[in-house]
Structure formats: structure tokens, C-alpha cells
Amino acid sequence: MIYLDNAATSFPKPETVYQALDKFARTSLANPGRAGHKMAMAAERTLDDCRHALNRFFGGEGIERWIFTCNCTDSLNIAIKGLIKPGDHVITSDLEHNSVSRPLRKLEKEGVITLTRVASTDGYLDPESIRQALTPKTSLVALTHASNVLGTVQPIDAIGAIVREAGALFLVDAAQSAGLVPIDLKTSTIDLLAFPGHKALYGPTGTGALYVGPRANPRAWREGGTGGDSASETQPQQLPYSLEGGTPNVLGVAGLAAGIAWVAERGVDVARAHEVELLQKVVDWADANEGWSIAGRWEPATHVGALSLIVPEGISPQEIGGILDGSFDIAIRPGLHCSPYIHKALGTFPDGTIRLSPGPFSTEAEIDTFLGALEEITAGVL
């Protein structure tokens, strides 16, 4: 199969990730516990090693600030639900994935918060529009770093400075940027960074993390065993255990650590540059082919490896996706990509677009095959 759905989850993974998963599963797959036997200690060390790797990779302020989660949705929910208080005002944008939009919209519908959804232009947020949306009650600004529909990278440094000046917390959804765009928590004004382990950090599905910066203190959202402090009647207060009840996905973390090592060795931005180069071909093709256009402004320097194509009239994104899969063995993602608000703004709601997202192992020949398939599929319609 030609896999062009890396924005959903990356495939294939680097060989070292498969090796790490295999080795860990065969030798160390015990329940991590600080006071346990040798295998439990080895599993605990794997968690610690990965926290160190994350802390180095993103320039965090300490390994205890890295919370392992199931996915990016989990990370975002822990942050949003753990921080918000009744009466708060929250700012978000029309670029968000449902994992940000839905928890916030629910809190708004329940009357717990007031919510401002700032509009993007051509896929980009203007920092000034965030400034204008701030109120004295704004406690949280929750924004995506890169749109999963358009691939556009947002000016989070400029926005973060405005948010910090206003005294609010800044939660960044780095689902589409972690591993592709440099993020330095030491120099940035990000308070909470949420991301999956299974996209451009090349861990397996079921992995994710949340960084909790020194200004943030989310309430425990899930209480239970932490492998230590068992005499305490309530959840321990200290990070990371306050936010990590239950047996963690330590096998997944072993794979994630190998994925982070792979990215760190190659250098952040290498995969992004490769993917953007492949997408340039698609952009040029869409320019030259009647009926097709790309969604959002194409600026290669501020783009990750996801791109949406608006399809010609007479055929739906879902039909194209089905034919690509069934007849050409090509995996892309048609539809709304869990981000309905941006499709409403683009005028592509409810059918959406087709999104392709090459990965570090994608080739130019695969993109040529994909474009040839689009030409065949739409030959009868155009």
C-alpha cells in the first residue's frame, strides 16, 4: 500500500522502533514499580529514560513534568478539564481538532465557561486577533500548533508572548508539529504542550504525552495506583504521579523512546523538509489541473506534511478516498478530519476535502502514482 495518512498516525515506523518494541516485550514487560523486583525496576527505568529524552528533546524544566498519556486527545483533556474553573473565559480557534473543540464546547454549553473561537485567514491565525479576544477572565488559550487539515504552522511564539503578558495559560496542541517543527520550551511561552507519540515521534499507537510547565497545576483527573506512596489515602500531589494513575503503556513508551532517538539523531525539520518537498509537487499539480485546488495558503516554510485538496464538482472526497483505497491501494484521509469548524470556514463542510500526508519514508514515485490515480479517477468528471 502507498501510505499517505501520516497525519493520522505514522507508518511505517523506523526499524529501531520495531526492534525496541520487540526487545522490551520479550525482556522487560513488567508493571513498573519503584519499590518492586528487577523487571519492575527495568520497566520503571524505561519510563524515566523516555521522560529524560522528552525533556532534552523539547527543552523542558524537569523530567517530572512529562506525563505519559494514551494519545493527544488524552493529553488535551487532562489539561483542559484539569485547569478550567467555573466562570473562566477560554480562547480557541477555528483550526482546532475536535479533541480541543469538543471539551471546550461542552463546557460552554453547560455554562461553565465562556468561549471565543478566533477565525483564521487562509489557514493562519493573526496574533492580534488573539490579543483582541482576551478579557480579564481569560484563563486559558488553547490552540493548535499546526492545522491537521491544512498543514499550516501557526505563529505560536508571537501568540504565546501575548498570552503570557495577559497572565493566561497557553496550551499548545502539537499533534501535527511535535517531531517536525522545533519546539524549545525553555525559550517559548508554552505552559502546556500536548502531543501524540504515534505521529511524527514514530512511537506506536496508544502513546502520547503532556508537558506541564511551572505555571500550570492541573487537578488530578484519574485517581488510583501510582506504583508508590501506597499508604496515601488520596492521589499523590507530586508530578508526574498526580496525573498518571494506573498501569502505564510502558511497552508503547519503549517504542516512543526509540522514535524520539531516531528523530533527534536525524534532526527536527528533516522529515518536514522532505514532506513539504513532496507536497510541492501536489501543489503544482493542483495549480495545473482544472477543478482542483488546495485549501489554505501554501507557504512551504510554515507548512508541515499535511495538505488538503478541494475536489472537483461531481465527485465527493469520500468516493475518491474509497477508489484510491480499493483500486489503487493508496491510503489518504477524506472528509472533515475531526475539524468541522475550519471546513465550515473553507466552504467544504460537510463533505470535506481529501488530505494527503506523506511521511519520512514516502517517495516522489509514490506521489506521482497518487497524482496519476487522481487523474484517472476524475477523468470522467472533468
Ligand X SMILES: Cc1ncc(COP(=O)(O)O)c(C=O)c1O
Cell numbers placing 9: 498516525
51 is a contact residue toward ligand X (CB under 6 A):
no
99 or 378: CB nearest ligand X: 99
Query: Given candidates 40, 47, 72, 168, which one binds ligand X under the rule CB under 6 A?
Result: 72
Least Å from the CB of residue 154 to ligand X: 11
Least Å from the CB of residue 249 to ligand X: 13
Sign of CA pseudo-dihedral 174, 321, 374, 315: negative
78 or 373: CB nearest ligand X: 78
Where do the DSSP E strands lie in the chain? 2-3, 66-69, 89-93, 114-118, 138-144, 169-173, 192-196, 208-212, 293-294, 307-310, 330-331, 333-335, 353-356
79 or 374: CB nearest ligand X: 79
**Sheet of 89-93, strand order:** 66-69, 208-212, 192-196, 169-173, 138-144, 89-93, 114-118
175 or 181: CB nearest ligand X: 175
Which residues between 196 and 225 bind ligand X (CB under 6 A)? Answer: 196, 208
Least Å from the CB of residue 199 to ligand X: 7
Q: Which of 146, 158, 137 is nearest to 93 (CA)?
A: 146
Total residues binding ligand X (CB under 6 A):
13
Angle (deg, nearest 10), helices 250-266 and 38-58: 40
Q: Match 520550551 to its residue by C-alpha cell.
A: 185
SS3 label, residue 345: helix
Query: Given candidates 73, 92, 353, 357, which one binds ligand X under the rule CB under 6 A?
Result: 73
Give Cα separations from 108 to 76, 143, 149, 297 (angstroms).
16, 17, 24, 31
Q: What is the C-alpha R_g of the chain?
A: 21
Which residues between 5 and 24 bind ligand X (CB under 6 A)? Answer: 8
97 or 272: CB nearest ligand X: 97
138 or 152: CB nearest ligand X: 152
Binding mask 91-120 for ligand X (x = CB under 6 A): ------x-x---------------------
SS3 label, residue 205: coil
Cell numbers placing 331: 491510503
Least Å from the CB of residue 379 to ligand X: 32
Single out the segment in contact with ligand X by CB under 6 A; choices: 68-76, 119-127, 218-226, 373-381. Answer: 68-76
95 neighbors 144 (Cβ within 8 angstroms): yes
Q: Which of 317, 225, 273, 259 is nearest to 40 (CA)?
A: 225
33 or 334: CB nearest ligand X: 334
Least Å from the CB of residue 79 to ligand X: 12
Which residues between 144 and 183 bind ligand X (CB under 6 A)? Answer: 144, 148, 173, 175-176
Least Å from the CB of residue 218 to ligand X: 17
Query: Given candidates 46, 55, 71, 120, which one binds ligand X under the rule CB under 6 A?
Result: 71
The DSSP bridge pattern shows strands 66-69 and 208-212 to be antiparallel
4 or 377: CB nearest ligand X: 4
Single out the segment in contact with ligand X by CB under 6 A; choices: 65-73, 161-169, 233-241, 282-290. Answer: 65-73
Q: What is the DSSP string of 260-293?
A: HHHHHHH-TTHHHHHHHHHHHHHHHHHHHSTT-E
Sites of contact with ligand X (CB under 6 A):
8, 71-73, 97, 99, 144, 148, 173, 175-176, 196, 208
